[in-house]
Amino acid sequence: MSASFSPHTITLIKSTVPLLAEHGTTIIEAMYHRLFEDPQIEALFNQANQKNGTQIHALAGAILAYARNIDNQGVLASAIERISQKHVGYAIHPEHYPHVATALLGAIKQVLGDVATSEVLEAWGEAYWFIANLLKDREAVIREGIMTKNGGWIHWRRFVISKRIPESETITSFMLHPEDGGPVVPHQAGQYLTFRFDAAGMPGMKRNYSISCGPNSDYYRITVKREHGTGASAFLHDQAKVGTIIECTPPVGDFFLPSVIERPIVLLSGGVGLTPMVSMMEQIAEAHPDAQVWYVHGTQNRETHAMDAHIRALVSRHKHMKATTFYTQRSEADDAEAGFITIDWLRANTPFQKADFYLCGPRPFLRTFVRDLIGAGVPAAQVHYEFFGPMDEEMAA
């Protein structure tokens, strides 16, 4: 990945770094305000992440990182892939990029005032379109790859909830079959679906949910925790019934198992972060009989532990798969370790530096284990993780 930025353009972009560090959030807020003057553009975005500020903070951090690395584009490769996958999930297309350019440059001028000279704005326009073209090209490749597969589709497709399965006191699985009766594109174990909900009070609400079944051509399963409030999880738990129609785009995401497993695998999850891990375990049980797998999960207690019987059944089918659960509220009758998962336990009970680690869970869980695994000697290239929500600069680092 290389850009033909002139030294002058690089100097101009880097000159704005201190201003972006101070005013970046305000610039992004102004940008979204301009974008959302068009209801069709506003409908493309996850409004929950707008209201709680996570998307604004994440994008401000990403733009600051881009400015700091304008002369070192190689460090942005993973971000380009992650964003491209998410854009395909949210049905963002090439025609949307000019709207963002206009809004971003207008917001920079609005917030920075006279500092944002015509030269500075021209430099940022050049920098924006360099990234935008990378994203558009990658998104086109992703869409083409989906459409060349049996069952592939683009945009929104209607699915029927064919079954509800209570998994714990707060978690339910939903089996989804396409309303049109056709096949579905097999996902890569670990990927997610993006849903659009048009229920009363939340028109156009979008959510990403990891697929919790192994790859197949017939259906998807998602496994959803009932969160507080009146959002998508409340709709699914309280209103959605067998026969309810929901819409989603095809499976996307850059967090998945490789087609060839060369190292031992350690799957590490906290809470509802188990969902992509179950998909991975199903794929391993089906297609990788010789893979060495350790699954380690943490939750509060037996009542909050979802899919336990299903995971035990998968382990019983695979001679090289082990599963250990940690309960922070363990009773004497529980077949689980007590307390929290620790690096010391992982070092003593898994291949550790020889393994590929796949992590999913709450932000503090991920931040702790990504940092501590790498700090304990696991190569960074062997630590893979999925985070439910916008990826801020701190987490991405």
Q: Which residues fall in the annotated binding site?
A: 87, 192, 207-210, 271-276, 387-390
Tell whether the torsion through CA atoms of 310, 209, 81 and 11 is positive or negative.
negative
DSSP state letter for 352:
G
- Of 32, 66, 128, 139, the active-site residue reads 139
State CA 381 to chain mean position distance: 18
As given in the structure block, the two tokens for residue 278 are: 């179950």
Question: 139 catalytic, yes or no?
Answer: yes
- Give the count of beta carbons closer than 10 Å to the beta carbon of residue 59: 21
Residue ranges at the known binding site for FAD: 192, 207-210, 387-390
Residue ranges at the known binding site for heme b: 87
Rounded-to-integer distance, Cα 300 and Cα 169, Å: 12
CA angle 304, 218, 216 (to 5 degrees): 70
CB of 334 within 8 A of CB of 302? Answer: yes
Residue ranges at the known binding site for NADP(+): 271-276
Q: Give residues with Cβ within 8 angstroms of 172, minimum separation 6.
A: 164, 165, 166, 223, 224, 226, 236, 237
As given in the structure block, the two tokens for residue 206 are: 């979008």
Question: 97 catalytic, yes or no?
Answer: yes
Q: Which ranges of 36-116 does DSSP label H, i.e. alpha helix?
A: 39-42, 47-51, 54-68, 77-89, 97-112
- Of 97, 220, 358, 385, the active-site residue reads 97
Residues known to be catalytic: 97, 139
